[in-house]
């Protein structure tokens, strides 16, 4: 049973290119499945989340992170009686626009584009992927996803201004996205705040004492684990604390969002869209705990001295390859040269699209072939 404020597939605004209904899957289920079978989704397996493969094969990559976000999102959607197929599709697609080397690759690509008067935005690139670059069907370009999934790709984590992005005018930029889309950015944070603590501990770049001192929510649950399991290993106590931390954030997001729905007197998806602010939210207390964990991870893991070389390598590789192909577009693959020759996009955008679609391994191979300088990878 769906809540009255949930998105109903029969009320979807449909696909850009109409298709006949499927015999046993609704349109949001088909979107979910098209995303899972997309080449861009498979490439996530070889894109950095925090650690490159030189550390270990056990750490999260973009694909395993995406699967964790989908699991958390589906659980919360079920509790709130939202459309779980739509939520799952949005969770699975939310990171496909990310370039290689994680946020360092994204930073370098955006800085390169700024020099040419443009920008790189992974949400907008994800929309280009599902609309243009995926080639699977003879009847239409891209994946031909429903409006609600395409809208959620660009609006799940931020609001775009119509005057700054006239090309997005069809996506109701003056309205909020449905609750199904609003959840994704919050579940993304739940997933990476807990997972990155886990991987940071496993990598030995973070230690339990440091996390306990800096992350109060973790400390509270670690003390609880010590009382319940005094004889087990530190690693198992760590796991118990992290599990409780995740459960607290998930439960709070469910309870707070349900309460905010009641307070806003939301009864339909239209009410959600017209509300002056997003409704999905953590409570004040848990949001403060979330920020503390996030700030700790930025300070002690993401920008740590130990990862500085990895980040610098990623930024340098992206920047040097971008500059090379801007100077010598004739060395691009034929399909990308053709886009430049036809004037469909600027040279900078075409080079950006090419790099953004690469996996970590492929861009390293390209760097060695094109630039010829060994890297630490």
Residue 375 domain-assigned (yes or no): no
Mark whether 224 and 299 lie in a shared domain.
yes
Total domain count for the chain? 2
* Structural element, H or E, at residue 342: helix 334-342
Residues linked to residue 172 through DSSP beta bridges, in sequence order: none
Do residues 180 and 80 make contact, with C-beta atoms less than 8 angstroms apart?
no
Reported as a single tens digit per residue, the pLDDT across 55-91 is 556 788 999 999 999 999 999 999 999 999 999 999 9
Mark whether 197 and 331 lie in a shared domain.
no
Mark whether 139 and 288 lie in a shared domain.
yes
Residue 366 domain-assigned (yes or no): yes
Q: What is the distance between the alpha carbons of residues 48 and 98, in angstroms, rounded to a whole number?
A: 9
3-state secondary structure of 76: helix
Mark whether 158 and 194 lie in a shared domain.
yes
Mark whether 191 and 318 lie in a shared domain.
no
Q: Phi, psi at residue 299, to the nearest 5°?
A: -75, -40
pLDDT beyond 60 at 166: yes
Total residues found in the chain within this entry: 377
Confidence of residue 373 (pLDDT cuts 50, 70, 90): low
Mark whether 73 and 101 lie in a shared domain.
yes
User: Using a CB cutoff of 8 Å and minimum separation of 24, what contacts does 206-209 make?
Assistant: 206/300, 206/301, 208/234, 208/237, 208/238
pLDDT beyond 90 at 51: no
> In this structure, how many other beta carbons lie within 10 angstroms of the beta carbon of residue 334?
8
Q: Indicate the DSSP class of residue 329.
A: G
Instruction: Provide the pLDDT for residue 377.
Output: 44
Range of the domain at 217: 9-307
Mark whether 313 and 265 lie in a shared domain.
no
Do residues 325 and 354 make contact, with C-beta atoms less than 8 angstroms apart?
yes
Mark whether 337 and 221 lie in a shared domain.
no
Residue 377 domain-assigned (yes or no): no
Reported as a single tens digit per residue, the pLDDT across 176-189 is 999 999 999 999 99
> Residue 226: which CATH number?
1.10.3210.10
Instruction: Write out the two tokens for 227.
Output: 């009382």
Mark whether 216 and 357 lie in a shared domain.
no
pLDDT beyond 70 at 376: no
Residue 4 domain-assigned (yes or no): no
CA angle 126, 131, 133 (to 5 degrees): 80
Mark whether 259 and 337 lie in a shared domain.
no
Mark whether 108 and 138 lie in a shared domain.
yes
Residue 281 domain-assigned (yes or no): yes
Reported as a single tens digit per residue, the pLDDT across 332-351 is 999 999 999 998 899 999 99
For the chain, what is the largest distance between any 2 Cα atoms, rounded to a whole number of angstroms? 68
Reported as a single tens digit per residue, the pLDDT across 270-287 is 999 999 999 999 999 999
Residues linked to residue 15 through DSSP beta bridges, in sequence order: 146
Task: Say which residues have a Cβ less than 8 Å from residue 144's Cβ, sequence separation at least 6.
Answer: 15, 16, 17, 19, 34, 137
Mark whether 298 and 314 lie in a shared domain.
no
């Amino acid at each position: 049973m769906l809540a009255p404020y949930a998105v109903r597939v029969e009320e979807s605004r449909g696909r850009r290119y109409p298709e006949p209904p499927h015999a046993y899957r609704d349109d949001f289920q088909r979107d979910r499945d098209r995303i899972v079978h997309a080449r861009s989704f498979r490439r996530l397996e070889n894109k950095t989340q925090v650690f490159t493969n030189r550390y270990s094969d056990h750490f999260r990559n973009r694909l395993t992170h995406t699967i964790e976000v989908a699991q958390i999102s589906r659980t919360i959607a079920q509790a709130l009686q939202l459309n779980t197929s739509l939520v799952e599709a949005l969770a699975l697609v939310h990171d496909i626009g990310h370039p290689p080397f994680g946020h360092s690759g994204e930073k370098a690509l955006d800085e390169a584009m700024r020099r040419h008067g443009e920008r790189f935005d992974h949400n907008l690139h994800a929309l280009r992927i599902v609309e243009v670059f995926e080639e699977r069907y003879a009847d239409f370009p891209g994946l031909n996803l429903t409006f609600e999934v395409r809208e959620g790709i660009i609006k799940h984590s931020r609001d775009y201004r119509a005057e700054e992005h006239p090309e997005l005018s069809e996506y109701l930029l003056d309205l909020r996205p449905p609750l199904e889309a609003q959840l994704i950015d919050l579940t993304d944070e739940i997933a990476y705040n807990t997972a990155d603590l886990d991987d940071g501990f496993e990598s030995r770049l973070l230690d339990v004492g440091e996390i306990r001192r800096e992350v109060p929510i973790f400390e509270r649950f670690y003390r609880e684990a010590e009382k319940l399991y005094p004889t087990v290993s530190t690693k198992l106590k760590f796991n118990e604390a992290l599990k409780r931390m995740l459960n607290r954030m998930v439960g709070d997001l469910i309870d707070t969002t349900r309460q905010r729905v009641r307070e806003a007197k939301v009864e339909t998806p239209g009410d959600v869209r017209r509300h002056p602010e997003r409704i999905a939210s953590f409570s004040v207390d848990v949001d403060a705990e979330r920020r503390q964990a996030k700030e700790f991870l930025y300070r002690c893991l993401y920008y740590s001295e130990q990862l500085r070389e990895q980040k610098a390598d990623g930024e340098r590789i992206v920047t040097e390859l971008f500059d090379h192909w801007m100077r010598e577009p004739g060395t691009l693959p034929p399909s990308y040269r053709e886009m430049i020759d036809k004037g469909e996009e600027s040279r900078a955008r075409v080079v950006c699209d090419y790099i953004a679609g690469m996996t970590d391994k492929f861009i390293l191979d390209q760097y060695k072939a094109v630039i010829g300088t060994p890297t630490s990878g």
